[in-house]
Structure 1
Amino acid sequence: MYKVMVVDDEKPARETLNYLIDWEKTSFVIVDSAKNGKEALDKYIKYKPDLIITDIQMPVMDGLEFIREVRMLKRNQKFVILSCHENFYYAKEAIKLGASDYLLKDLLTSNDLYELLEKVKRELEEEKEKFTNYNKVVFDTSDYNYKEELKNIALKSLTFENMTMEEMNNYIDKFNLNFRTSYFLVLCIFIDDYKKLTEEMKYTELKIFNYQIKKIINESIDGYFGGECFYNENGQFVAIVCLESITSQLKFYADSHTICQRIRKGMTKYMDLKLTIGVSESFHDLKNINKYYNEALNAAKLRIFMGKGKTIFYNTNIAKVSNIDMGALDKKLDELKELIDKSDIEKTKKEVEVLYNNNLSGFMQYNYLKYINSCLFNIIMENCKEHGINYIDLFECNYLPVEKPDEFETVQEICEWFSQILVKMINLQLNKDDKKYSFRIKEAIEYIEKNYNKDISLEEISDEIGLHKGYLCRLFKQETGVNITDYIINYRIEKAKKLIVTTNDKLYEIAEKVGFSNAQYFSLKFRKITGKTPIEYRESSNIRKAGNI
């Protein structure tokens, strides 16, 4: 039986679904219900339902936000929107988020529900069949043995060590490596979101996961001209691909594109993974393979500018851009955040000028510019959320105007616009921070900051300060700019950040210390607020401490 969860703030709506049809005649069973997205998210981790039927407008966390949160935990989760809103915007957003259907409460009949469940059942069975095929083709790890480990080591030695051709040929013969042509290219293949996909895996699971990816890549290139693949590190796989003789650059691009598409197709079919692939120039023998590996690697690194999920060919323009020191750039951005937190207007303006004070002529430099713009928008978004600043006060519109820099003709104009916005934001946050909260809200904040590490609820806070919870919610949002739930979560994350940097505690221990009952939910909220997983945040902090940026 497939499990169903119903999410709706109206109890009659939840109950209606129970008796509208005879659930025993279907392949589904309702395992639980929830009255808002936050409650449903907590229960989702416990029940892992196959189908979620959810309303859109709900208190605390609405249906669309709930879907986005769950998508971060499981990309192919099945959703059905059941709403009283016949609104094109909601329908459009539901489709963008991958909902299976959008139904109106008042018009829902038993036949509609039966048909819907049958449709979702077919989708689930198709996915199950896909997963079964994946098991048959990929999960056979019986050939993952000591010999396979040695082969991986041999391929790394060929690629990274300064070997003679005689030594290389000995390795090729000894390990029966599939290099049967005289022309090659190197692919540097990154699994997009690799850290997020693997952070909960145990060592053995990770080992098998990497082996399965490598096997798909090998099977994809074997079906063309042959070659070999090995896993390097941090979600990076290296494929040394055999080619026919290269008669023209056009043929090289055509063959390379075909090989990359074969790999993508296999990875989508069996593992539903997204890839970024860097492609080297072609070369005649393996003697200089390390040079061509670095070409492919430098090409793949450009996903930070060009976006994930792309095939990027190495050329001289890319070679120039690959020299940008990303560590130094990230350090500058961190320094800018600190200046904004200190409300240092003059130094903030100078730091923005430094970010844009590069030779930004040319196509690839344009992608660098786009990257800086997006980083500044992210800083602005985080500060607005932290200090309760409304976009309407900052931009004179109620959304983040990410298209605004495209309206300017020069880099100097973009730089001046961001400087003006950041100065305005600092002044707004100073006004917000200086605001005197009412006595009741001060009491609520003090209670939260004393008890954040406990499972505190809205009812507890309202009882403690002697206000009705509905009135407390409205007053808290009115004075602080954020709702109570977000305030508690943000406060817990700030405490967690300090523990991550200053202690060696395990992440699940930190989650418990700051009031999260579930480590997975803690990681989800941490990444949403900071833009990094707890592991990534600790790693970047350690790098800064070591002074290696």
Structure 2
Amino acid sequence: MAFKVLLIDDEPAALEGLELWIDWEELGFEICGSGSNGAEGLRMIRELEPDLVITDVRMPLMDGLEMIEAWSREGTKPVKFAIVSGYGEFKYAQKALRYGVNAYLLKPVIPEEAADQIRDIRQELEREREERSLTKMASYEEAVMLIKELLDGGPDALGGMEEEANRLSDAMPAWNMCLVQADPENLARLWAKAAAMAGKGEYIFLVDLEVHGFGIVYGLNLAEDNEPAAAAMAEELLAGGIGDRRVFMAVGQAESSLLRIGRCCKTAKRAIRYAFYRDQNPGLIRYDQVRHFKFEDHFERLDLFEEMLQAVLLLDKPALQKALQSADSSLRESKPNPDFVKKIAIHVMYQIMSHMRETAGPVAEPWIEKYDIPRISGTVMTLGDVMDDLLSCAEGCIDLFMQEQQRQSQGIAQEITDYVREHYRKPLTIRKLAEVFYLHPVYLGQLLLKKNGISFNEMLHNLRIEEAVRLLENSRLKNSEIAERIGYGHYGQFLKQFEARHAMSPNEYKKRMF
């Protein structure tokens, strides 16, 4: 990152020469502004915060040395100075040394000589920047360690670090914590954003709190500044979009001392739980918004979850959806503790899966593995997420049972079809078949119709008449003998079925053969 240089000279040609003759980019600087006298330069130093100021000595209103002297008295940020002066102004050079001026450039300025001195200044700036960075990093890590101790055990856990903790606490009038929770994939990106934010701010610290979240501890000029400060942090964290990923954020109650940061954390955790009942992007939740709300300790309509289980057992999707919608509405109205709701949902899902294992056996295992029950107990779940997972599990169970039932039904239907093909010559009815296969006659008839595309009776007559044709073509049996052999007790019934399929009688069929 380039350092900033400010140029001050009352001669436009001299300013232009400094700008054009020196390769500032190659030297690691960028010109942030220029002024024409010391008074203007002093104002620009305050506004632009340059790293280096190159100034002429003799200027109207306030000369360069007076400007340097004024900044040495009031300056809030260290600035390097280089002065430009002629050969006959040695007294200025002597005075400049007393103010700690870093370079003395003689007029006319020779670019190569100036570049050497400016390069030396840049090296000094880089060294100081690195030292500040290391010092800041060490101070940051020390502050984070103090905060963790305060969060874990309060002021009594500081163990000899009370003075450091008080010094840090006194740096800002108020303190608070923003709690951030997200799924693991999104959490790393949010942490990186928060770390960049902490790097830019002076009293912002990141602390690990749990698997799915972290805390941002920040100082406030006033407790009343909490709302805009928290909103700005949330906006910066969410900048760039998060897709359909869940991110929960909440800020606690601001405290006047960092030593009470544990209270901020506790109230932030209380606030973030209310994200459970906000299905859209929950946004930032402030403790003062929810401090008067209270979760119910129980839920009266547990029967609705029993109805869900019953609907699964009956393979009744409409009843399942109705029970789930009723439960969702009732939960939103009464707002029981989110942990309690999650435990109920997990219990129901385990009940469903237990039923699947008992009924479908090994077939159910691949399906069960698709459902991540522990996910429900995670932090970044809304009521809508929990109910969606529960519905998906229950409907998936119904679908699996129906597929398995269909597969088994197809197997039974094939067995029945094979049995009919083998026994069609005997007096066979659908009721007798139902007795053989222990099925209801109506259900058995539906199975065969779905399997073969024709009814049981149609199938039976087709098999018998096909056999009659073979006998007519290859035997000298009488028509009545053929009818009896293929299962018809009455010749008239045989004749009716034969004519229906061949549009002629058996005798006419024989004549056509010869």
State TM-score, norm by structure 2: 0.35
